[in-house]
Amino acid sequence: MRTIATYPKFIMSPPSMIRRFEGWTFILMCLLFLFLQSSGIAQPQPDDSALFRDGEILLSKGETEKALWRFKSVVTDFPKSPLFNEAKFRMGICYTRLGRPRDAIRILSELFTTFLSPSRMVQIFSLMGDNYVELKDRLNALQWYGKGLLIPGQPNAELRNKVKSTMDASNTEEELKSIESIYRGAYAGGYAKLKLAQMARRQGNDLLARRYLMELEKEYRDTDYMPVAKELLDTISLSIKSKYTVGVILPLSGIHSPFGERVLQGIHSAIKEADYPLISLAIRDSKGSPEEAEKAVEELVNKEKVIAIIGPLLSADIDRAARKAQQLKVPLLTFSQKEPASNKDDFVFRNSLSPLEQIRTLANFAMKELKLGTFAVFYPNSPYGLYFKNLFSQEITQNGGKVLGSVVYQEGQTDFSQEIKGFFKTKPVQKHDPRGKQEDEFKSLLSVDGVFIPDSSDRVGMILSQMAYYDVRGTFLGTNSWNGPDLISIGGKGSEGAVFVDTFFNKAPSPLVARFVEDFRKTFQRDPETLEALSYDGAKFIKEILQTKSVSSPLQLQEGLRRVKNFQGVSGLKGFGEDGRAIRTLCILKVDKGEIRQIWP
């Protein structure tokens, strides 16, 4: 019997079934491939952090094009990434390095609408400047570098160097003048002025070079290029000499430097660059030190051969400076209110507004013109307050008036109610208005014709407003320290009718004063005050004698200073007496309808 073997059916399938199976296998393989592609498992993509990190590495290696691609991918593919703005900033760096300034400026400008730290702002401003330099646009480059220099608390030596290197590439006088005009007062403006001075020096125009350098010394005293300017000025001064040299000693550094600068501006208003062939200035910094002031006098006389000295300003400096000037026999015109220790200093002239001068003028006007007879004094517990209080009381008494009492208060005090109520014996008076509200008013049981308050305008403003509240009436009298906007802005209606003394009023009805104020404002962009007027008059007084008289020595100038008694000064200066004190007419000012006006002379 024959055995027949059996097999599974699919093994015995015909070829058509095998082909059908292979087809299904192919379809499944394709579906699996598409699944793997869509799930990202087969080819993982980098995220924003990885792209940014790769860009940083490539940028540090100098592979700027590749780095740019990474940072651009972060910006394009991940707009909500926390690295978005950082990537833009680095794109700006890449474009700058690749020499594509317009792209760099475009991408960096987009960052100005975002929050930027001060250090990042400096970096962006610096890059903006670099790209404008690449475009040969120096004015815009300096603008961006200048913006970076204005950000406080940031290192700026690199920016200063970029400003200088940008301007060193400029060789035309026209461009430098344009930069000096556009950026006047800024770092670039001063450096342009130095470049103009150097150019004038090379062209042999020493007078023009000197004018630029003197302006630099006035306007850009603290810049890092001033040592170069001073060295050049010294060189020029050796090559050309004016007929007369006038020395100046002022505190130009330290805590008193703002006052020294104000005095110097007044002097420069009187002795200008146009006067150089006749008069030049030799300036020394006293640093607020009596020793430095004395040393400066000796140096100015022996080295600079000055014909006179203007200064010093501070009371602490006057004794030693005056003694040295007297010893060397050179006229010293000082602005210090302090009397020198010696009364035999016939070479010392005091062009200052003295306390006694103020009190005599004020007391005389109050008693003779205003017909005031009884007075009170409110004064701060300070040497200034006590000194003026004693002077006023003595002057009133000597002229037949009466001081009924005085009240002292502390320097930092702001509430004066106890002092006012205690002295004037004010009592509350209740008042009922038609609406039924009860309001307190006050009535003073003690009255005086005038109240003298020797203090600053802001403090006096507070006192006057409180005097008005407590119904204290009378004429309020003060010194030149009242001459400020705070008197009216703080004092309000309480300041109305207040009378005080000064030696200068910038709204005085005088063509001489108006011309001085206009010229000063044009040069220094602010109004002059008493200190500037005094220094202007002192310098102009010396200048006029040197212009009109044949003066060949300090002794002859000293004689001229004593002889002139008809000088017309903006501060009322007419000349100097035998004791060296200024002869002048002070002015009386009054608050009238909310404005300060001159009422005498």
pLDDT at 126: 95
Classify residue 366: in a domain, yes or no. Answer: yes
pLDDT at 431: 65
Do 397 and 364 touch, CB atoms closer than 8 A?
A: no
pLDDT at 14: 47
Among 228-232, 336-340, 588-592, top mean pLDDT goes to 588-592
Distance CA 191, CA 179 (A): 9
Using alpha carbons, select from 211, 245, 265, 215 the residue that is nearest to residue 516. Answer: 265
Q: CATH number, domain at 361?
A: 3.40.50.2300
Domain tally, the chain: 3
Q: Where are the beta strands (DSSP E) in 270-417?
A: 279-285, 308-310, 332-334, 348-350, 374-380, 402-409
99 and 214 in a single domain? The answer is: no
369 and 456 in a single domain? The answer is: yes
* Per-residue pLDDT at 38 exceeds 50: no
Burial of residue 556, with CB atoms counted within 10 A of its CB: 0-12 exposed, 13-18 middle, 19 or more buried? middle
367 and 490 in a single domain? The answer is: yes
Do 49 and 71 touch, CB atoms closer than 8 A?
A: no
Provide the 10 A C-beta neighbour count for residue 465.
16
361 and 465 in a single domain? The answer is: yes
pLDDT, tens digit, 9 for 90 and up, residues 135-193: 999 999 999 999 999 999 888 899 999 999 998 887 688 889 999 989 988 999 999 99
Where residue 29 falls among pLDDT bands split at 50, 70, 90? low
Classify residue 132: in a domain, yes or no. Answer: no
More confident residue, 235 or 481: 481
* Per-residue pLDDT at 379 exceeds 60: yes
Where residue 437 falls among pLDDT bands split at 50, 70, 90? low
Classify residue 446: in a domain, yes or no. Answer: yes
pLDDT at 442: 80
What is the percent of the chain with per-residue pLDDT over 70, rounded to a whole number? 89
Distance CA 46, CA 52 (A): 10
pLDDT at 345: 74
Residues 6+ apart with CB under 8 A from 34: none
pLDDT at 31: 54
CA angle 354, 389, 586 (to 5 degrees): 35
Q: CATH number, domain at 65?
A: 1.25.40.10
497 and 362 in a single domain? The answer is: yes
Distance CA 359, CA 378 (A): 15
* Per-residue pLDDT at 355 exceeds 60: yes
Classify residue 158: in a domain, yes or no. Answer: no
* Per-residue pLDDT at 438 exceeds 90: no
Distance CA 547, CA 524 (A): 26
365 and 450 in a single domain? The answer is: yes
The four Cα atoms 19, 25, 31, 32 give a dihedral, to 10 degrees, of -160
Residues 6+ apart with CB under 8 A from 483: 457, 500, 502, 505, 529, 530, 589, 596
103 and 215 in a single domain? The answer is: no
Where residue 241 falls among pLDDT bands split at 50, 70, 90? confident
Distance CA 492, CA 486 (A): 9
DSSP assignment of 126-149: HHHHHHHHHTT-HHHHHHHHHHHH
Distance CA 569, CA 512 (A): 8
Do 376 and 452 touch, CB atoms closer than 8 A?
A: yes
Domain that holds residue 208: 190-240
Where residue 239 falls among pLDDT bands split at 50, 70, 90? low
pLDDT, tens digit, 9 for 90 and up, residues 291-329: 999 999 999 999 999 999 999 999 999 999 999 999 999
* Per-residue pLDDT at 487 exceeds 50: yes
Classify residue 225: in a domain, yes or no. Answer: yes
Classify residue 236: in a domain, yes or no. Answer: yes
359 and 495 in a single domain? The answer is: yes
The four Cα atoms 500, 383, 579, 324 give a dihedral, to 10 degrees, of -130
* Per-residue pLDDT at 8 exceeds 50: no
* Per-residue pLDDT at 395 exceeds 50: yes
pLDDT, tens digit, 9 for 90 and up, residues 93-146: 999 999 999 999 999 999 999 888 999 999 999 999 999 999 999 999 999 999
Classify residue 105: in a domain, yes or no. Answer: yes
105 and 228 in a single domain? The answer is: no
pLDDT at 41: 40
Provide the 10 A C-beta neighbour count for residue 64.
17
pLDDT at 45: 55
475 and 362 in a single domain? The answer is: yes
* Per-residue pLDDT at 518 exceeds 90: yes
Handedness of CA 404, 409, 414, 415 (dihedral sign): negative
Mean pLDDT over 212-220 rounds to: 86
Residues 6+ apart with CB under 8 A from 149: 156, 159, 160, 163, 186, 187
pLDDT at 17: 45
Segment among 275-279, 330-334, 453-457 with least mean pLDDT:
275-279
* Per-residue pLDDT at 13 exceeds 90: no
What is the token pair recorded at 143?
């603008």
Distance CA 248, CA 284 (A): 6
pLDDT at 93: 96
What is the token pair recorded at 166?
């940008």
CA distance readout (Å), 190 to 143, 184, 221, 273, 389? 14, 7, 10, 18, 48
Q: Give me the chain's average pLDDT, please.
A: 88
Where residue 2 falls among pLDDT bands split at 50, 70, 90? very low
82 and 204 in a single domain? The answer is: no
* Per-residue pLDDT at 495 exceeds 80: yes
Segment among 226-230, 357-361, 364-368 with least mean pLDDT:
226-230
Where residue 276 falls among pLDDT bands split at 50, 70, 90? confident
CA distance readout (Å), 36 to 24, 26, 40, 41, 381? 19, 16, 6, 6, 91
pLDDT at 434: 62
Mean pLDDT over 573-600 rounds to: 94
Helix (H) or strand (E) holding 94: helix 84-97
Do 579 and 588 touch, CB atoms closer than 8 A?
A: no
Do 508 and 597 touch, CB atoms closer than 8 A?
A: no
pLDDT at 483: 93
Cite the DSSP H helix spans in 220-314.
226-239, 257-270, 290-302
Of 240, 264, 299, the one marking the end of a domain is: 240
pLDDT, tens digit, 9 for 90 and up, residues 524-570: 889 999 999 999 999 999 999 999 888 999 999 999 999 999 999 99
* Per-residue pLDDT at 433 exceeds 90: no
* Per-residue pLDDT at 382 exceeds 80: yes
Token pair 């306007």 is found at: 219
Burial of residue 12, with CB atoms counted within 10 A of its CB: 0-12 exposed, 13-18 middle, 19 or more buried? exposed
98 and 226 in a single domain? The answer is: no
pLDDT at 351: 94
* Per-residue pLDDT at 10 exceeds 50: no
pLDDT, tens digit, 9 for 90 and up, residues 69-78: 999 999 999 9
pLDDT at 100: 95
What is the percent of the chain with per-residue pLDDT over 90, rounded to a whole number? 70
Of 502, 525, 549, the one marking the end of a domain is: 502
β 475-478/450-452 pair status: parallel
Of 240, 274, 303, the one marking the end of a domain is: 240
Classify residue 371: in a domain, yes or no. Answer: yes
Token pair 């007369």 is found at: 244
Where residue 593 falls among pLDDT bands split at 50, 70, 90? very high
What is the token pair recorded at 587?
């002015």
Using alpha carbons, select from 561, 502, 504, 564 the residue that is nearest to residue 528. Answer: 504
CA distance readout (Å), 104 to 88, 107, 143, 170? 10, 5, 17, 24
